[in-house]
Structure 1
Amino acid sequence: MLNDSSKLEQPSTDTLNKTPDGYFQCGFCKRHYNRADHLIRHVRSHTREKPYVCEICDKGFARPDLLKRHAAGHTHDRDRKRKRNSSVSKQSRVSQACKACASSKLKCDEDKPCRRCRERHIACDWQDLLPQVSPEPHQDDFLETPGRENLPSKQIISPTVVLSTMSSPLEFPSASALMTPGTTLQDPNPSEVEDMCSQPNSIDNGVSPNDHESGIFSIDGTFFPNFIPDSLIPSLARYSDSDLPGTVSDYAQYGALDNFHFDLTLTDGDFSLIDSYNSQAVFPSVPDNHMDYRYGMDSGVGIGAAAYHRSSLSAYQPAREDHAFDDHENLSVPEVINSPQNNLSFRDTAICERLSPSSRDLILSLILEVSREATLSRIMKSFPGTELLDSLVQQYFQHQNNTVESFIHTPTFRTNSEDPGALAVIAAAGAVRSSNPTIRKLGYALNEGVRMHLPTKYERDNTFIRDLRTSQTYALTIDIGIWSGNRRKTEIAESFSQPLITMLRRALRFRRSIYSNIIPLAEDAGHDLELKWRTWVDQESFKRLVYYIFLHDAQTAMALNVNPVISYADMELPLPASRHLWDAKSAKEWKSIFRSTVTAAERLPSLADLLRDMSQLTIFQDYIDTQFAASILVHGLSALVNEYHRLKFISTSGSKHWHALVTNSRQQELDQALQHFRMVCSELKSKCSPETVMIGEVVSMLLYMSLEELQLFAGKEDKMEARRVYDSALEWIASSDSRQAVCHAGQIIRAARSMPASSLVGFLAIGVYYASLAFWSYGVVSSANAARVIRGLEAQPPSNGTVVLLDGEKGVEVLKFVTLNSGLPALHGPEGPVYLHDPAAIMRLAQATFHAETLETRPALVQMLSQLMGDLGNCVHGGE
């Protein structure tokens, strides 16, 4: 009986050599089996399916024989309580014996201290014991079976055991091939990886000395590089030969041979399971050459957890001392900065009217209204002077005139006629872009005061809900908070964005009907022309404000990995008019430009129109702001990519209603749309800005990588979440998606290098970080998956393969790398190529994009991202 049973469980020699000679093949890993029931058990190790449920305690099992043994241990109470009786049957084994009983090889009790220790008046110590490798609780004791001695001496039948991490290096039996029946054993720690013991493993005993020097091997043969901390690899079993049972009789005490009583009856569901998994796998299959490493459950997972915990990308944990008045001490500016002589560098005026002392006093009055009484005296004594505030306002408008998404009309802005809240937030927007840390802190303090003032203003007079300047003030307040690099400010800004969007939507500012065609006639002059121009400016300002908020919302969604609040389908308002019309400094200049470019009352397209037909961008390029429109279009495409990932999320993991073919087809459509976008941009009369090009590459990169899973793998939340997504990371590396992603990441670095360092702020800085995360994940996972670590790569490049420079021109080598995985991916470095398989060097190179020599003068978000990238690179070499 035993010999027959062992034949049922032991894989054939051909199976161990991976020769596909069986009749039944697994749709996941392509293993072959001669019997259908063997395949069914194997498939359930992939799907984690446990169809056999105990009627008493509802515990699930993968096989009926395990359920029968489990049920035999239950006391047959008629009420069938879920809780087991503490008294264990004499025929069952206890879950853990104490040290005294174990050393005497006597039966212990389930209750501790046990009866034997109490009678002998000795200490009953059981907590320090290693987790017992035992069958399911309440199993029958192992019974001697005739014929057991006839087993071949070169084969050891062992249960698949999940052991806790030990400090000694793992040694493998030198002369025995370990064959593992699919026994389900008691998990020593339920919080660790579930059901790993049900996966079949095959172990290669040929471990070279070099492999032992560069890393360690898990019990399933997976290589773990030295830089991965031992604490992250609970699946490693570092036992030596002396720790492993040496004979079949040694395994008897573990109940390993109890599994040889099988119920081999196949149901209709079992046969349908074979058909479905032979025809199609739910998950993307991993190539055979990666399968030996696939089962290393913790290679590199979560090693950046500490780095994320220190960064502002981690979740905000409110403290009692956190409040809105924290920044008020920064409203007091040192005299050396407040001096008029130190603000001469801002004398280049973007607006004609300078800030007056009375306007400065109105700003101070607004701040004092929302300040605590204890700080009033200090704020009044050291509040910024007129010259400093004026220079900050001028600095903002200089910046806006050089950006694509200008939405506050500079020629009609009258400084001393504006609302003090608008002046304060514009000064804050100029201050946060300063290279002086003190002035940046002043900017955030001013912004906090305006944020606290706005609700009172709206409640005092509800007509401000439809006011243009108040809405612009609100938009700037949110923008400053989101990109502040401060967790509290970012969370507040994200939560406060919804009311502004709601107010604009309820005012029909997303609809075309509210925008009329305003065309200057030849006879228009004087007051009538001025009135028509200002009406056009107000209407155009609302259009630009709505699209500015749409861009901001799309960037926030990509930065925080959330759904955008505004749908691209809602954007039915016309695109912004020509930039030349927007920049006209007077009504006469506006009329002249309008009549020379616009020949008829053209119906300008909306974002929804561009998404239907991108060629309209070139058709209407003389009538619309092409730079702004191109940026709007690529942000609309980012919303489609976001939708794709949401659909992909529910169409995997064995979805019953959504087919993977739909998501694959959608990915191809989006890739073609992004390629079409680049082609349309190349046909424009004015070249697309580097910012738009870079954001286009970010969107293309995000199409081919799950930002959520890669950040979880790196350790953004905790190690358990990192382990959960490890399989997805392996599948990503094995597919062409990973190579597509790092190719676009290389183009992001290329675009960032072409921009001045002062431009790499806000979402553009986030884009550089995402590119570095793609490089880092590719390097860490592929190194662990390929069972090797490349050290000293800067001085000793790999000796074989063509170097593929991802941050250069896209050529044949890049195409071969993406499609055939041919070549060695690298970036241009100061002293030669820097290879992606050296994550630490790659992260240092990506850091250099931020110009680290002037990092202390950069905004807090840029400093935080640079520090995070450096920490992720350092944690790779942390174990060396």
Structure 2
Amino acid sequence: MSAETDATTIRPSKRARAPSNADNVSSLQCQVCHRTYDRLDHLNRHLDSHRNERSFRCRDCSAAFNRRDLLLRHQSTHAKNAAEGQPNLNRPVERAIKACNACVISKVKCDNYRPCQRCLKKNITCTTQIPDKNNVPVSDSSAPVEQTSDRLLSQEEPRPDLMYPVDAFMDAATLNRGISEIYHETANPPQALSNFFEQIMVTQSDFLATDYLHPSAGLTAWLPETDWLGEVDLFGADFMPAIDETFNSPSLNTGRVGTTTTPGGTVVNDARATNSGDAVRRRHAVFKQSPWFWVPERNQNAFSEQEGITLDERQVDLALSPHQPHASNVVIPGRLSQQSRDQILQLVLKTAPSQVTISSFPSADCLDKLIKVGIAKRTEGDAWIHPYTFHSDTARPEFLTALVVAGCICFGIPSVNKTGLVLQEIVRVSLRELAERDNGVMRELQYLQACMLWLDIGAFCGFRRKMELAESSLQVLVTSLRRAGRFDDVRYSNIVLTSEDDAEELSRKWYQWVELESFKRLVYHLFEHDIYMTMVNHRQPLLSYAELTLPLPASESLWLAPSAEIWKARMMNMQLASSRPSMRSILQEPGSVSCLHAGFDTHIAHSAYIHGLASQVWEHCQQAVLLHDMSDASSQLWSRSRQQKLQECLRDTNIVLDSSTALTCVFQQFLQMYLFADLDTITRFAGRCGEEAAHRAYIALQPWCKSREARTAIAHAGQVLQAARAIPPYQNRGQDSFIIYHSIMVLWTYSMITSDCARKTGFNTPTQVEVAAIPDGPTLVFLDDARCSNQSALNAFIMMNTGIPCLRISDGDAGAQSEVQDTAKSDTCDLRYPWQVMKAGVALLDATHPDVDRETGPPLIRALCGLMEELGGLQS
């Protein structure tokens, strides 16, 4: 053994050389490894090594370090090269064919000369010994990662295809003894070499920044001259991320190369080699057909894809609809006159005189039925259009046409839906032209309500062009309401009733009160719409919860009073509240939302509170992205405490949600999932933004999938699916479909990366036949069961990663398994198999519209199901 090797392996550690007197033990102790320090800056530097965030980055190359002193040491190498006139090469340096023993032990670059330049400079012996193949033990691929370094560092024969010189050309006994002594002296466990899956899953520049190329904090003290990243060339530039195997059926590890197990359990031969970037490119190609990608084409306009208005009035019948268009029992007075019908026809002809063909236009009775269905549907939720003060004779034709569109999409009949899509473009273009002709309409209630109607319909319709236009046009409505002061409390005065009010004065006050309440409900509906767009499209919200100081809307009993006299009677019997709570006030005092005065709409208040928390969750996640690479401990502590506070607030809303709809419960569980999962990174991993973005996302998601945060996220994702099954059939909205899709993507990503991690470490997932053969197998933890049924097993999975996470693939209708899961009518989805996760998601979305063929169902559900089937390899 060389002199350098001897000096390295027998040198005592700094901790061993320290006095062992008990009086010197400091109270500054690391809570992870329980080491103690005398100075706070030493403890902080030690904690940086545990966090492994590599916040200190070199400006001259891609190297990153956990400690500032390591960065300064690395930068001194650049300064030395600059002083000597040597260029800092960013390209990989040519590897040595055989590294000498001294360079192997020190983990530094070697060359092909003997003696090498480093040994010659240090005047030490330079020897190279090739291990005897017959004496080197074969590495057991199924052994645990925690095995000793002699098994981890030995192989049956050299692997030139991996281009890793360390394990191919060294004295195994010398290496094992030297490395193990260093690790034992520094009180660090042996670390396994990088495996093949990690090598092929990252590009060269990203791979050089991974954890296992940086030594532990104790080991760096022994090697002050080592530049860990400067001249390392482990893999060629042609190594690109590829996870083709994860798109296949579960793999059976039998020791043979190229075997794959199909979903039916049949083992087939798979001779294909891992392609560099084919899997990512295929995923990106799939996303080009998703609802998010729209590439504008030349010579295309608003009516290029419209076939014209060919509505058969006989199909506008509630009895012909596959479902009930609305569940409201509100009776809307009045009928659409022939004059109003002609105004709608005139608007269509003026807006698109030559682009849209009209073979026949619906009658006044047909349009009246569609308008009333559109208004009644709005009263099922936050009811932001008042049904009893609506008069078609005085309404703007743009508003009437928007209500016709809202009624068309409720029937579920393809021909009626197509007519609604044509009229939706008419509304969008005519509203823009109306504002150009008369700027005053931008403050009128009907104009703003018509804008909100077409934005609601277009944002989640499933047609890419309409969705992008609706998202980009939302800013106009927000600006109009903000400039009109409708977000502020000062614009909403109290209406005082007296016993002396005659019929005319009472009617005037009622209409004035209805207009103010309509603005309130419109603003809160707009805020919720903006939050949905933010969460599902990953974009900045346009409204702030802090600027909404307008009062909460009045109770539903007051709002749906059919006449001024009934409204007055209910107002006089109801004691007025001393204060007027708003969005800002209920977020300042979270407990106030559960004890509101009877004069306020509790449903809207609860929904507004949840969406206000959603805005704060989004805000926190954006700040966490900025704080991720920072070394400031106080900022990290603030971010963690803020996350815990939001988690507590969302958990406390379970009491509020006892009387809320299933749609609100779905969103509440989605927010808890969103708090622990970065959906933007997950969609990038799935291929949304291309190959390079998928590579970077994979690197970021690897440590996340092993953390408790990931298990917490998938637990809430399972609860999203459980709550979604309680939604009544045909009541699933567009934003709810997106929420279900994103929850499935979180589960799928976790399944993809953890299954690959099991494959690369030798713990391949067993086939279903093998699992069935084990009588006392691991506990199945169903993430989408009711919490009361498996809370202890779920807690054990989150905290200690015990059990196998599973889902239920339901065959029944939506809402059939809201309380108790019918195992006889459902299959088990094992999260170790990614394709089963997508199958569960497709089954759930299909079940939202039972007895409806997917081709004739909602376009958004059709697009999302097709996307999940493509990603999961479930093409049929």
TM-score by length of 1: 0.70
1:518 and 1:593, CA in 2 relative to 1: closer, same or farther beyond 3 A? same
1:629-657 deviation line (CA, Å, top 9, x unaligned): 11111000000001110111111113559
Identity %, equivalent residues:
27
CA distance in 1 between counterparts of 2:786 and 2:51 reads 47
What is the DSSP-based 3-state SS (H/G/I as helix, E as strand, rest coil) of the residue aligned with 1:851?
Answer: helix
Q: Answer yes or no: is 1:688 the counterpart of 2:660.
A: yes
Q: Which residue of 2 aligns with 1:57?
A: none
Q: Using the TM superposition, give the Cα deviation of residue 817 of structure 1 relative to its aligned residue in structure 2, in angstroms.
A: 2.0
How many equivalent pairs are there?
Answer: 710
Aligned to 1:813: 793
- What does residue range 694-713 of structure 1 map to in structure 2 within 5 Å? 694-713=666-685
Shift of 1:396: 1.4
Range that drifts further, 449-458 or 303-312? 303-312
2:307 corresponds to 1:307? no
Q: Distance in 2 between matches of 1:694 and 1:350?
A: 30
- Please give the residue correspondences for 1:344-423 in structure 2 after superposition, counting only pairs within 5 Å: 350-373=331-354, 375=355, 378-379=357-358, 381-402=359-380, 404-423=381-400
The structure 2 residue matched to 1:542, chosen from 519, 530, 538, is 519
Counterpart secondary structure, 1:149: coil
Alpha-carbon distance, 1:740 to partner: 1.6
* Aligned-pair CA distance for 1:354: 2.7
SS at match of 1:757: coil
CA RMSD, 1 decimal: 5.0
Once the two structures are overlaid, the 10-residue window that deviates more, 517-526 or 479-488, is: 517-526
For residue 734 of structure 1, report the CA deviation from its aligned partner: 2.2
Seen in structure 2, the aligned counterparts of structure 1 residues 167 and 750 have a Cα distance that, compared at 3 Å, is: same
The CA distance in 2 between the partners of 1:639 and 1:66, in whole Å, is: 47
Select which of 461, 476, 499 maps to 1:499.
476
Q: Is the 8 A contact 1:806 1:826 kept in 2?
A: yes
Q: In structure 2, how many angstroms separate the alpha carbons of the residues matched to 1:389 and 1:170? A: 77
User: Where does 1:600-615 land on structure 2 (aligned, <5 Å)?
Assistant: 600-615=576-591
1:615-694 map, 5 Å: 615-655=591-631, 659-682=635-658, 687-694=659-666
Q: 1:548 to 1:147 in 2, by over 3 A?
A: same
For 2:765, give the aligned amino acid: I
Change (3 A) 1:301 1:728: farther
**Aligned pair 1:826/2:798, yes or no?**
no
Distance 2:5 2:691 in 1: 38
1:782 has 2:750 as partner = no
> Any conservation in 1 of the 2:55–2:630 contact (CA below 8 Å)?
no
Are the structure 2 counterparts of residues 524 and 681 from structure 1 closer, same or farther at C-alpha, using a change threshold of 3 Å? Answer: farther
Q: Residue 580 of structure 1 is aligned with which of 557, 565, 568? A: 557
User: Larger deviation: 381-390 or 545-554?
Assistant: 381-390
The more displaced of 660-669 and 749-758 is 749-758
Relative to structure 1, the CA distance from residue 143 to residue 827 in structure 2 (aligned partners, 3 Å threshold; closer, same or farther) is closer
Paired residue for 2:304, among 314, 320, 326?
Answer: 326
Q: Is the 8 A contact 2:292 2:464 kept in 1?
A: yes
Closer, same or farther: CA 794–457 of 1 in aligned 2, 3 Å = farther
Question: What does 1:336-347 align with in structure 2 at a 5 Å threshold?
Answer: 337-339=312-314
Alignment gaps of 5+ in structure 2: 19-29, 36-45, 62-70, 96-107, 137-149, 180-190, 192-198, 216-233, 249-256, 258-275, 810-824
Residue 816 of structure 2: aligned partner: none
Task: For 1:30 and 1:437, locate their aligned partners in 2 and report how far apart those are by CA, in whole Å.
Answer: 65
Question: Per-residue CA shift, 1:479-514, capped at 9, x if unaligned?
Answer: 122112222222221221112111111111111111
Per-residue CA deviation, residues 92-142 of structure 1 (Å, 9 max, x unaligned), is x99899xxxxxxxxxxxxxxxxxxxxxxxxxxxxxxxxxxx99999xx996
Within the alignment, does 1:729 sit opposite 2:716 as a pair?
A: no
Contact 1:325 1:372 (8 Å CA) reproduced? no
User: Partners in 1 of 2:366 and 2:16 — Cα distance?
Assistant: 81
- Give the gaps of 5 or more residues in structure 1: 33-38, 55-59, 85-92, 98-132, 204-217, 231-238, 240-296
Residue equivalent to 1:520: 497
Partner of 1:435: 412
SS at match of 1:804: strand
Counterpart selection for 2:205 from 177, 193, 210: 193
Shift of 1:391: 3.0
- Distance (whole Å) between structure 2 residues aligned to residue 781 and residue 43 of structure 1: 23
In the aligned structure 2, how far is the partner of 1:96 from the partner of 1:170?
12
Equivalent position to 2:245, from 219, 222, 227: 227
What is the match of residue 54 of structure 2? 47
Match of 2:830 in 1: 835
1:867 aligns with 2:869: no
**How many angstroms does 1:166 deviate by?**
7.1
Structure 1 residues 345 and 174 mapped into 2: Cα distance closer, same or farther (>3 Å)? same
Does the CA contact (< 8 Å) of 2:206 and 2:696 recur in 1?
no
**CA 1:51–1:625: 2 relative to 1, 3 Å:** closer
Paired residue for 2:713? 741
- 1:802 aligned to which of 775, 779, 801: 779
Q: 1:771 to 1:352 in 2, by over 3 A?
A: same
3-state DSSP class of the match of 2:245? Answer: coil
* SS of the residue 1:769 aligns to: helix
What is aligned with 2:487?
510
Aligned equivalents of 1:52, 1:585: Cα separation in 2: 70
Q: Structure 1 residues 558, 192: closer, same or farther in 2, change over 3 A? A: same
In 2, the alpha carbon distance for the partners of 1:733 and 1:341 equals 50
Q: The residue matched to 1:874 in structure 2 has which SS?
A: coil
Whether the aligned pair in 1 keeps the contact of 2:242 and 2:280 (CA below 8 Å) is no
Whole-Å separation in 1 of the counterparts to 2:657 and 2:504 = 40
Equivalent residue for 2:456, pick from 479, 482, 485: 479
Q: Give the distance between the partners of 1:795 and 1:324, measured in 2 at CA.
A: 57
Provide the rounded CA distance (Å) in 1 between the counterparts of 2:360 and 2:392: 22
**1:44-80, Cα deviation, whole Å (9 max, x unpaired):** 99738665959xxxxx9984796589669958xxxx9
CA distance in 2, matches of 1:351, 1:847: 38
From the superposition, tell whether residues 366 and 223 of structure 1 become closer, same or farther in structure 2 (CA, over 3 Å): closer
Cα gap change, 1:705 to 1:370, in 2 (>3 Å)? same
Distance 1:53 1:324 in 2: 50
CA contact (8 A) 1:704 1:738 kept: yes
Q: Deviations over 1:128-185 (max 9, x none)?
A: xxxxx99999xx99699573336584799x9xxxx99979999986997589999xxx
Q: What displacement does 1:832 show?
A: 4.6
The alpha-carbon distance between structure 1 residues 309 and 223, as it changes in their structure 2 partners (threshold 3 A), is closer
Letter in 2 for 1:659: S
Distance 1:703 1:620, change over 3 A: same
The structure-2 alpha-carbon separation of the partners of 1:600 and 1:188, relative to structure 1 and needing over 3 Å to count, comes to: closer
2:244–2:278 contact (8 Å) kept in structure 1: no
Per-residue deviation, residues 398-453 of structure 1 (Å, max 9, x unmatched): 32222x22101011111233111011111112223332233223222211111111
What residue in structure 1 maps to residue 228 of structure 2?
none
Q: Distance in 1 between matches of 2:671 and 2:602?
A: 19
Secondary structure of the residue that 1:600 maps to in structure 2? coil
Structure 1 stretch displaced more, 576-585 or 525-534: 525-534
Distance 1:51 1:361 in 2: 71
> For 1:567-597, what per-residue CA distance to the aligned partner results, in whole angstroms no more than 9, with x for missing partners?
000111111110011111111121222222x
CA contact (8 A) 2:379 2:385 kept: no
The letter of the residue matching 1:364 is L
> Residues 346-375 of structure 1, C-alpha deviation per residue, up to 9 Å, x if partnerless?
8998423233333222112212222253x3
1:293-317 Cα shifts (integer Å, max 9, x gaps): xxxx999978743332221124x32
Q: Distance in 1 between matches of 2:590 and 2:700?
A: 34
Amino acid at match of 2:828: P
Letter aligned with residue 851 of structure 1: D
Structure 1 residues 198 and 662 mapped into 2: Cα distance closer, same or farther (>3 Å)? closer
- Supply the distance in 2 between the matched residues of 1:391 and 1:170 (Cα, whole angstroms): 77
